[in-house]
Amino acid sequence: MSMLNGKIAVVTGGGRDIGRAISIKLAKVGAKVVVNYYNSEADAKETLDHIKSFGGEAIAVKADASNLDDIQYLKAKTVEAFGNKVDILVNNAGGLFARKTLQEFDESFYDLVMNVNFKSTVFVMQAFEPLMGKGTSVINLSSQAARDGGGGGSALYASSKGALTTFTRSMAKALGPKGIRVNAICPGLIGTKFHDDFTKDEVREKVASITPLRREGTAEECADLVAYLASDEASFIAGANFDINGGLAFS
């Protein structure tokens, strides 16, 4: 029997990069997966097709995870497809959007970064918590940036992930008595489109060269950690923020 056989999982931002790897991994180990996406419909379809190619069960739902009405739509489509319970909630929706200095910030940029990276997790958890009970698991996607302040021009991104790290600890205390485990993973330099878009090649090469394991990580390695945290094998782990960065930074 697969480690998550019959479990229902919701993955926000589940169509591409780390979210795609998580969606596929959870399906491979037996979960039925709701792949949420917003701006990446083609990627989400590819993810869904891949899951179905090996006999996995999944649906794709377009919803803005930072919009409260869209969150309720995501919840309704989840219940419609898989019933009135969720076993695994992965809050992966997020983004850097642009590298900007303090003097380049404006209110709309602030709202965009904080809403997508932090508000989304708060209100997705609020919506889905009533469907979760004893033995269920929430995994939030934080970042190494929450540990070290991030690279140049990523102060708001790092701050939003810092808020997410703290929120993870708070929710572990609040929801633990109900049997809901809340944890986070904090990826470092992972080889995805995120860094293709926002990190120069020479910077990536330098960071990889000073990482003890001398390479970038992969989305699949992040997904493996998420699957473990979602499983009963991690049944006494709560309130933890797991570094996955090749040894570059320690908590």
Looking at the annotation, which residues are catalytic? 157
> Residue 217's CB: how many other CB atoms inside 10 A?
21
| 22, 14 Cβ separation under 8 angstroms | yes
Strands of the 241-244 sheet, one edge to the other: 58-62, 32-37, 8-11, 88-91, 136-141, 180-187, 241-244
Query: Cα separation of 177 and 193, whole Å?
Result: 38
Answer yes or no: are the C-beta atoms of 181 and 226 closer than 8 Å. Answer: no
Query: Within 10 A of 136 (CB to CB), how many other CB atoms are there?
Result: 23
φ, ψ for residue 90, nearest 5 deg: -110, 115
The enclosing H or E element of 226 equals helix 219-230
The half-sphere exposure of 187 on its side-chain side, counting CA atoms within 13 A, is: 25
DSSP string, 124-173: HHHHHGGG--TTEEEEEE--THHHH--STT-HHHHHHHHHHHHHHHHHHH
Helices (H), 57-144: 68-82, 107-114, 120-128
Q: Would you tell me how many other CB atoms lie within 10 Å of the CB of residue 152?
A: 10
